[in-house]
């Protein structure tokens, strides 16, 4: 699904804001250094005067002026770094800090779109997936084992290790994950953990709840008026690095859903594109609700992780209500 001009401009504006934020932060730090590091401002201002002087020499035919300028600037840079260090600052204190160091918050690397720009496009196109909110709350930094005991804890620990290995080997080893088990035991949480890590490593990730996914697939099949636009979205589902299908089984299941699900899973498997599926269904319920072909495809080509235990979301709500 291509971006509209408005959407494209929206992403570019976000990058402009990031760059402006970085410049303001550097200016704030520089002002602080000028005030608290004696001699630093004088050295910084001398860069301009030395550059002008050497530039005049270069225009006058002094062939050594350029090399002299390089040597002088290098010497000044070393003195400034030493002043920062002597005052308790790191040598890179005044360096810009970027959200994406690969493109320095420009959105482009070597003439092409950076991975962060591509993910911004995916996120904007699929805002209904609510992936940004999910990544803020569901990531390894908020992971906790305190809500699990006994076999439930062992299963969750095993699932966490499986996710970490999935991320570690993502570039070299094609794998899929299938999380199943009772409500609120961490299936969607682990999907979010994987999504965040892979997005930060430059991979495109599309997240859909089952209902939203099959709504899109239905529109692609029956909305002839917007067929071209929907065909592009359909292609994204097949081609993104990772597709996450959350809460499989919550959709209204029928023959159309079953056939579309098999086609999607089969096509992504043939293209070796990773998929994560989570469901509250048991394996038996999965087989009964969908076809044997889908059941076979999942159990044969996915690493299956069962999660069990109390509903953590409900448990947290009860704790809040007691306070």
| pTM for the model | 0.64
The CATH number that applies at residue 242 is 3.40.50.300
Separation CA 199–CA 207 (nearest Å)? 12
pLDDT at 19 over 90: yes
In a domain, 14, yes or no: yes
Q: Is residue 92 part of a domain?
A: no
Q: Is residue 75 located within the same domain as residue 181?
A: no
Does 286 lie in the same domain as 139?
yes
Which of these ranges, 175-184, 205-214, 231-240, has the smallest mean pLDDT?
231-240
**Residue 295 belongs to a domain:** yes
Domain span at residue 188?
126-322
**Which stretches of the chain are DSSP H helices?**
5-36, 40-59, 65-86, 115-125, 131-137, 150-168, 187-200, 210-222, 227-239, 255-270, 283-289, 292-301, 312-322
Least confident of 74-83, 185-194, 300-309: 74-83
CB 308 within 8 A of CB 156: no
The predicted structure's pLDDT at residue 106 = 93
- 3-state secondary structure at position 279: strand
Residues 296 and 204 both lie in one domain = yes
Residue 294 lies in a domain: yes
Question: Are 289 and 310 a contacting pair, CB within 8 Å?
Answer: no
Q: What pLDDT does residue 62 have? A: 73
- Rounded to whole angstroms, how far apart are CA atoms 277 and 119? 20
pLDDT for 266-303, tens place per residue? Answer: 999 999 999 999 999 999 999 999 989 999 999 999 99
80, 137: one domain: no
Q: Looking at the predicted structure, is the pLDDT value of residue 257 above 90?
A: no
- Note the pLDDT tens digit of each residue in 44-65: 888 778 877 777 777 777 777 7
With bands split at pLDDT 50, 70 and 90, how would you rate the model's confidence at 1?
Answer: very low
Between the alpha carbon of residue 198 and those of residues 47, 87, 164, 203, 259, the distances in Å are 42, 39, 11, 5, 29
Which pLDDT does position 132 carry in this prediction?
A: 67
Kindly state whether residues 49 and 137 are assigned to the same domain.
no
Asked whether residue 138 falls in the same domain as residue 19, the answer is: no
pLDDT digits (tens, 9 = 90+) for 106-139: 999 988 889 888 878 777 765 544 566 677 777 8
In a domain, 102, yes or no: no
Instruction: Give Rg (Cα) of the chain.
Output: 27
Q: In the sheet that 274-279 helps form, which strands lie side by side, from edge to edge? A: 205-209, 242-248, 274-279, 177-181, 303-307
Domain edge (last residue) among 54, 86, 118: 86
Per-residue pLDDT of 145-178, as tens digits, reads 998 999 999 999 999 999 999 999 999 999 999 9
Q: Residue 121 domain-assigned?
A: no
Let me know whether 130 and 70 are in one domain: no
183 and 50 within one domain: no
| Mean pLDDT across the chain | 85
């Amino acid at each position: 699904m291509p971006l509209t001009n408005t959407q494209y401009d929206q992403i570019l504006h976000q990058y402009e804001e990031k760059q402006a934020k970085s410049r303001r932060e550097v200016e704030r730090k520089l002002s602080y250094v000028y005030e608290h590091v004696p001699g630093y401002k004088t050295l910084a201002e001398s860069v301009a005067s030395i550059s002008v002087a050497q530039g005049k020499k270069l225009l006058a035919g002094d062939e050594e002026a350029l090399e002299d300028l390089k040597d002088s600037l290098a010497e000044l840079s070393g003195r400034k770094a030493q002043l920062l260090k002597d005052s308790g600052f790191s040598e890179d204190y005044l360096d810009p800090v970027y959200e994406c160091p690969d493109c320095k918050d420009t959105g482009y690397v070597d003439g092409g779109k950076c991975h962060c720009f591509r993910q911004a496009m995916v996120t904007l196109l699929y805002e209904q997936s609510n992936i940004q909110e999910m990544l803020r709350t569901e990531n390894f930094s908020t992971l906790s084992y305190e809500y699990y005991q006994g076999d439930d804890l062992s299963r969750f620990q095993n699932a966490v290790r499986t996710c970490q290995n999935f991320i570690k080997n993502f570039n070299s080893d094609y794998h899929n994950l299938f999380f199943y088990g009772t409500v609120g035991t961490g299936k969607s949480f682990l999907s979010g953990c994987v999504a965040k890590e892979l997005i930060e490593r430059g991979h495109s990730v599309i997240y859909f709840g089952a209902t939203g996914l099959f709504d899109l697939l239905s529109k692609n099949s029956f909305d002839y008026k917007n067929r071209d636009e929907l065909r592009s979205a359909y292609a994204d589902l097949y081609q993104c690095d990772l597709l996450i299908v959350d809460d499989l089984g919550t959709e209204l299941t029928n023959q159309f859903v079953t056939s579309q699900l098999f086609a999607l899973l089969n096509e992504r498997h043939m293209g070796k594109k990773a998929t994560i599926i989570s469901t509250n269904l048991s394996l038996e319920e999965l087989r009964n609700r969908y076809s044997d072909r889908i059941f076979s495809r999942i159990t044969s080509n996915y690493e299956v992780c069962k999660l069990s235990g109390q509903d953590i979301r409900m448990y947290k709500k009860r704790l809040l209500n007691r306070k």
